[in-house]
Structure 1
Amino acid sequence: MNEQSEILIYQTEDGETKIQTLLKDETVWLSQAQMAELFDKATPTINEHIKNIYEEGELSEESTIRNFRIVQTEGKREVSRDVNFYNLDVIISVGYRVKSRRGTQFRQWATRRLKEYIVKGFVLDDERLERGSDYDYFNELVERVRAIRVSERRFYQKITDIYATSIDYNPDHPMTQEFFATVQNKFHFAIHGHTAAEMIIERSDANHPLMGLTSFKGEKIRQSDITIAKNYLAEDELKSMNRIVDQYLSFAEEQAAQRKPMHMKDWITKLHGFLELNDRSILHNAGTVTKAQAEKKAIAEYKKYLKIQDQKTVSDFDKTVKRKIGKAKKKKD
């Protein structure tokens, strides 16, 4: 096949079928034989559907067919043949006509890969990476991890950024949704035994100095500061959290430098491993307090705190008036 094209391995969800697909010109291409294998139909059936697609004017032959020279095994010898390949539009249309669940699965897979290709200029193919193929991906990944490490993003955002470098990354996968929803709490629980919401409930207190906060933006506490769990961390807790996050990021960079592909499940497993290595507890549930409950309590404490501060604080205007009154009395005396 053309050197400017890329080969991707598609595996059906049931794991029974693997198909070598061709990525070129920002679309995916399959031959009739490959579509027959994908949809578990006879090749003549696929041919008939394609013929009808063109005859009915659903798609144009000119823009959806490409001829590629491929090497295939015939008997005991390898033969080079020119074979017609059909783009993703045709594949999807055939999938609808044969009413194949696999057609939907393939479309979702291909769409993710095409988006990745358009953004990055290449895609991440598990099988080729695991065979140690010469590939740009790891060089870019090293730089990407380094950029994440020095970024100003919050600690848990850095962890999710690393997770997103998985070679099988899918933002819509249930595994991803759960990881993103729990990663912040996993770190908080590991450091002080509470989820983020539980800590806000426990530590936000109008009667404490600075309402219990240890850090906040600007010179005055604002409502946006009081609902961020990290702002309540003690110095030693913050240092511990930063050390574990840095270990995790160092590991990510080392994996990339060694050209080791990482899947979504690998990053989740490694995160738990790092926490256990540091003798930290692992959170296995959502905690006892919701985010909404924590915010409600913190805001209530904040309102109390403001009233207390108002009572303690004498405004500049009041100070000036008092000073002038004092001077006036002295003159009279």
Structure 2
Amino acid sequence: MQPNEGDIIFYSSPLGQTKVEVRYEEETFWLSQKRLAELFGVEVNTVNYHLKEIFASGELMEQSVIRKFRITAADGKSYLTGCYNLDAIIAVGYRVNSHQATQFRIWATQTLKEFIVKGFVLDDERLKLNKRFGKDYFEELVERIREIRASERRFYLKITDIFEQASIDYDPNSEATQLFFKMVQNKLHWAVSGMTAAEIIASRADSNKPAMGLTHWKNAPSGKILKSDVVTAKNYLIEREIKELDRIVEQYLLYAENQAARQIPMKMADWIKRLDAFLNFNEYDILTSAGSVSHEVAKQLAEGHYEAFRIRQDREFESDFEKEIARLQSRQGETSQ
């Protein structure tokens, strides 16, 4: 007998409320000790220890929460494996000490509090769909992705938007999310230039070059270059790289729309794997390291060049006001002749 495929997904909503998504069929849900360990981010022996404590204390009866299923292992063979139901999962979740278990407890406590105060708990979406990731969820996601594709936002912001909208475990405040975006950016930079963001800045920032080597900046083309402009890798990309990056992002957004249309829930880690597969399919080199230059080193180099460049820029810069004065003086000279 094979268990129903299921997963518990931790994620935070944009409002910061931690939620736990349970996917199951026919009102049954079972996880092996290995899956429980993955779920709560701990070792299998930790899960085993807590289960023994739960059973020894009489909190749960072992025979009522465990069932044997035949599960195919990594070696291709199937083995009878003990799996634990939702009662056991909740009990372990309240005992394990990990970040993921903490998220679980926050969700569970909020749900229990609502039940005690109101006498019931309503999940409006689950009430309508029987499960959160139903047809309406994916139809709405497809529409949001199409809006992102059609928007006038720069492709970097479109990438940020797509991960925010289409990652079910997206948490804007977590350090993992910030590292995630840096990784994605570096992979895209590497694909079109063979360099990470820091390497691009370090190799192309030059106070002796026109515009310090920049091809884009906030006040371009006639406005002053600011210090913040010189520490942004995309500002150094040449036209060919920009167009190539734009094409990659557009194709990737189409891929994201197709995933939503096929009703496939995606986590941030899934997007990283899919991005590597996508780049590999299109015969781009895949970044597998952090690069040879750190962000801090690149920032210091660029800002050092900027200090020298800023002096020349201030000396040579002609403001719009000065240009207008010169234009008026030129016209006056012409009329007096």
TM bucket, shorter chain: 0.5 to 0.7
Q: Helix, strand or coil for the counterpart of 1:199? A: helix
Q: Deviations over 1:145-186 (max 9, x none)?
A: 223334565544533443342345567989756533311111
| Greater shift in the superposed pair: 252-261 or 38-47 | 38-47
2:149 corresponding residue in structure 1: 149
2:184 corresponding residue in structure 1: 183
How well do the aligned residues superpose, as a CA RMSD in angstroms? Answer: 4.5
1:205 to 2:206 alignment: yes
2:103 corresponding residue in structure 1: 108
Cα gap change, 1:220 to 1:170, in 2 (>3 Å): closer
1:305 corresponding residue in structure 2: 309
1:195 corresponding residue in structure 2: 196
Which structure exhibits the higher relative contact order, with contacts defined as CA atoms closer than 8 Å and separated by 6 or more residues? 2
Structure 1 Cα separation of the partners of residues 124 and 106 of structure 2:
15
Structure 1 Cα separation of the partners of residues 148 and 258 of structure 2:
14
Structure 2 Cα separation of the partners of residues 13 and 168 of structure 1:
22
Structure 2 Cα separation of the partners of residues 313 and 103 of structure 1:
56
Percent identity over paired residues? 43
Cα gap change, 1:173 to 1:269, in 2 (>3 Å): farther
Deviation at 1:266, TM superposition (A): 2.7
Q: Partner letter of residue 276 of structure 2? A: H
Q: Post-superposition, which runs of at least 4 consecutive aligned residues in structure 1 deviate over 6 A?
A: 37-40, 170-175
Count of residue pairs brought into register by the alignment: 246
The question of whether the paired residues in 2 share the 8 Å contact of 1:184 and 1:196 is answered with yes
The question of whether the paired residues in 1 share the 8 Å contact of 2:145 and 2:253 is answered with yes
1:62 corresponding residue in structure 2: none
The question of whether the paired residues in 1 share the 8 Å contact of 2:125 and 2:131 is answered with no
2:68 corresponding residue in structure 1: none
Structure 2 Cα separation of the partners of residues 281 and 247 of structure 1:
17
Structure 2 Cα separation of the partners of residues 311 and 259 of structure 1:
58
Deviation at 1:259, TM superposition (A): 1.8
Q: Helix, strand or coil for the counterpart of 1:295? A: helix
1:216 to 2:217 alignment: yes
What does 1:21-32 correspond to in 2, within 5 Å?
A: none
1:270 corresponding residue in structure 2: 274
Q: Helix, strand or coil for the counterpart of 2:184? A: helix
Cα gap change, 1:138 to 1:215, in 2 (>3 Å): same
The question of whether the paired residues in 2 share the 8 Å contact of 1:244 and 1:274 is answered with no
2:167 corresponding residue in structure 1: 166
Cα gap change, 1:302 to 1:174, in 2 (>3 Å): closer
Deviation at 1:200, TM superposition (A): 0.8
1:137 to 2:137 alignment: yes
Q: Partner letter of residue 14 of structure 1? A: K
Structure 2 Cα separation of the partners of residues 95 and 279 of structure 1:
43
Which consecutive residues of structure 2, in runs of 5 or more, have no partner in the other structure? Answer: 1-20, 38-49, 61-86, 111-120
1:226 corresponding residue in structure 2: 230
1:14 to 2:22 alignment: no
Structure 2 Cα separation of the partners of residues 39 and 269 of structure 1:
36
| Greater shift in the superposed pair: 176-185 or 8-17 | 8-17
Q: Deviations over 1:190-213 (max 9, x none)?
A: 110111111111111111111111
Structure 2 Cα separation of the partners of residues 121 and 38 of structure 1:
33
Q: Partner letter of residue 241 of structure 1? A: L
Q: Partner letter of residue 162 of structure 1? A: I
Give 1 or 2 for the bigger CA radius of gyration.
1
2:241 corresponding residue in structure 1: 237
Cα gap change, 1:312 to 1:168, in 2 (>3 Å): closer
Q: Partner letter of residue 41 of structure 1? A: I
Cα gap change, 1:267 to 1:104, in 2 (>3 Å): closer
Deviation at 1:220, TM superposition (A): 1.6
Structure 1 Cα separation of the partners of residues 32 and 173 of structure 2:
18
Q: Deviations over 1:296-327 (max 9, x none)?
A: 1111211211222344457959x99xx9xxx9
